[in-house]
Amino acid sequence: MNEQLVLVTGGTGFIAQHCMLALLNAGYRVRATVRSLAREAEVRANLRAGGVDAGVRLSFVAAELESDSGWARAAAGCAYVLHGASPTPSGDQVSEDAWVRPAVDGNLRVLRAARDAGVKRVVLTSAFGAIGVGHAPKLRPFNESDWSNLDAPLWPYQRSKTLAERAAWDFVAGEGDGLELSAINPVTVLGPALGADYSHSIRLIRNMLVGMPGCPKVNTCVVDVRDVADLHLRAMRDPAAKGERFLATAGDSLWMIDIARVLREHLGAAAGRVPTRTLPNWMVRLAALRNPALRGMVPLLGVNLNASGDKARRVLGWSPRSREEAILASADSLIRLGLLAHH
């Protein structure tokens, strides 16, 4: 048994909970931050759904990105920190600042607390949104040397992820005092949902299964959340990961219609409502005028967002599941948990 204590921030998150499962299965003790301790029972239930009854090996501390309160206590005695907490402001009038400020300040709060507590390494959950957005079409897949173009009209989420990751690297270089940092940049994260509060990415699979008029011509790489968690652990433990960022992607990018095709080929009757056609770009642009939620999609129409996961395979020996397995695991969990009827 490995009795080292690892802090996982944003314990109600989809990736965070799969990281907690991986850590507990590897024998670590886990402390999770949540905005409200009222959600402890829900997190424990989700981990049980993932096959782990954590018992006393899991503890909780209340802390949120917008406040200093709780972070020193959260980091105390921890060997490592997996920092996945990220702001998700909601409502129609959310300003860009409401995304960027908590993301940047939150990263700095966590890094400061980790440094002051003598933590060895922080693994930051960044995003493909900090790598591959706002560029002219590229002839090669995106890799870890790329950064999203802040001069382009980025979605607030993508801008917040880019600025927050940059701030983290700057902090460790200037004020880290020996604290090590690695960053994981996942593409669209699929795989098994553990409960009703699942990720934005899995909503895409759900929308296909319950029926949508067609697929926008949007392109993405995919990766299974269990492999994202495995990559976090590798980046936490391997000396070679110090000071490096790693794209988490299971293979070449897919168009939405390709994802729909995987569902139709494997799920039989359960995929009866999955779309069979690609929507013309003009139709999506028109719909976006009326539906603000679609606006962020417009700059991505027809853009190839292929990315390479070669570095993680080469440096850390990472070996992810196939794209098909990630897609189908999402669908199977939604069906198994009865999450298609409600929501």
Residue 1 pLDDT grade (very low, low, confident, very high; cuts 50, 70, 90): low
Question: What does pTM read for this prediction?
Answer: 0.94
Q: Answer whether residue 286 shows pLDDT above 90.
A: yes
Fold adopted by 5-191+224-249+307-319 = Rossmann fold (3.40.50)
Euclidean distance between CA atoms 323 and 286, whole angstroms: 31
138, 202 Cβ separation under 8 angstroms: no
* Contact indicator for 193, 202 with CB cutoff of 8 Å: yes
The catalytic residue among 120, 161, 217, 311 is: 161
pLDDT at 91: 56
Give the integer Cα–Cα distance in Å for 133 and 321: 25
Cα Rg of the chain (Å, integer): 19
Give the Cα separation of 165 and 102 in Å (integer). 12
Highest mean pLDDT among 25-29, 100-104, 266-270, 333-337: 25-29
Distance CA 135, CA 116 (A): 38
For the stretch 43-102, pLDDT in tens is 999 999 999 999 999 999 999 988 999 999 999 999 999 999 887 766 554 677 888 888
For the chain, what are the domain ranges? 5-191+224-249+307-319
Q: How far apart are the first and last CA of the chain?
A: 40
H helix intervals, 117-254: 156-175, 200-210, 225-237
Q: What mean pLDDT value characterizes the chain?
A: 92
For the chain, helix, strand, coil in percent to 5 are 45, 15, 40
Instruction: Report whether 217 contacts 205 (CB < 8 A).
Output: no
pLDDT digits (tens, 9 = 90+) for 213-244: 899 999 999 999 999 999 999 999 999 999 99
Question: 161 an active-site residue?
Answer: yes
Q: What is the pLDDT of residue 343?
A: 45
